[in-house]
Amino acid sequence: MRRILFATDFSDSCDNAFKYLQDIIDDEEIEIDIINVYDIPVTTLLSITHKAVQGMIEERGIVVTNMLNDMILQLPENNRGKIYSIYGSHPANEISQLSKTIDYTIIVMALRQKYSFFDRIMGTVTAQTIHQAHTPVLAIPSGAKFQDIKTILFPTSLLPGDELKEEEEDALMRLIDFWHISNCPEINLIHVSKDHKDVDIVHKNLVFKDIDFVHTHARSVADGLFNYFNKAEAQMLAFYKPERNFWERLFHSSLTRKLLFKSRLPIIIFS
């Protein structure tokens, strides 16, 4: 049975992401584990005795465990996995370590509304988890409303006909694994060439069966992605983590940020 790890801090953004996840796995035989990493403020630790600190940690652990139990009970019985209430000051470390011991299909996390989109990706617990974990991370923006996932866009710097590295093949295999969870949407690898041609060339089954490779053209990568996103009406973006410089450049584009802000598009990032 496939397993998913959901990381929560009990914020409104995480509550929304949890509802989104429930819609994704509708009627699927998937176990969901839930983790919360809690801490005690440093100012509090410095002002009380060691014994009092231990008592506070234990009390907080009980509260967190009860909250996690309440969450897990919101799931259908066949989707209920384990809960993990962990004391620690570095949530991304704990999430990543747990994902190394269990073969999760994906880690699901939220993107908080109070950050700019780029900051949310590059400077948060979600960003740190993406950096550390070898498991794919699905990041769900605050306020995202679930839509049936019919099309996933996977921007790439590869050109049609380029030979895939072993790591890239593994990333695509993991995307296909997610594909089975999300009701088998259309997957489009997309490469944008920077020129003034207005043409899309679609290569069927070029890399893997059921994956189209789209070679489009535009004045910039961001323009090409934006234009094709509108044509394809995609519901999700996917990225390959080792191409970090490539997708970081995308997020510097005001056009791409506008696209992501307006659509509140979930992003799945593969190692």
Q: Which parts of 25-122 fold into alpha helices (H)? A: 42-47, 50-72, 91-101, 117-122
CATH class for the domain made up of 151-263: alpha beta
Question: Element (H or E) spanning 3, and its range?
Answer: strand 2-7
The tokens for 270 are 């593969």
Q: Is 42 exposed, middle or buried (0-12, 13-18, 19+ CB in 10 A)?
A: exposed
pLDDT digits (tens, 9 = 90+) for 214-263: 888 888 777 787 788 778 778 888 877 665 555 555 555 554 555 555 55
Is the pLDDT higher at 144 or at 118? 144
For residue 78, name the pLDDT band (cuts at 50, 70, 90). Answer: very high
Contacts 24+ apart (CB under 8 A), 10-14: 10/36, 10/67, 11/110, 11/112, 12/142, 13/110, 13/111, 13/112, 13/113, 13/142, 13/143, 14/110
| Whether pLDDT at 120 is above 70 | no
Report whether CATH 3.40.640.10 matches the domain 2-141: no
Q: Measure the CA–CA gap between 243 and 250, rounded to whole angstroms.
A: 11
Phi, psi (rounded to 5 degrees) for 115: -95, 155
Q: Is the pLDDT of residue 15 over 80?
A: yes
Would you state the pLDDT for residue 265? 77
What does the CA dihedral 107, 207, 162, 177 come to, rounded to 10 degrees? Answer: 10
Tell me how far apart the alpha carbons of residues 104 and 82 are, in angstroms, rounded to a whole number: 12
Confidence of residue 122 (pLDDT cuts 50, 70, 90): very low
Residues of the chain with CATH 3.40.50.620: 2-141
pLDDT at 71 over 90: yes
Q: Check residues 116 and 139 and name the one with the higher pLDDT.
A: 139
pLDDT of residue 46: 62
pTM of the predicted protein model: 0.80
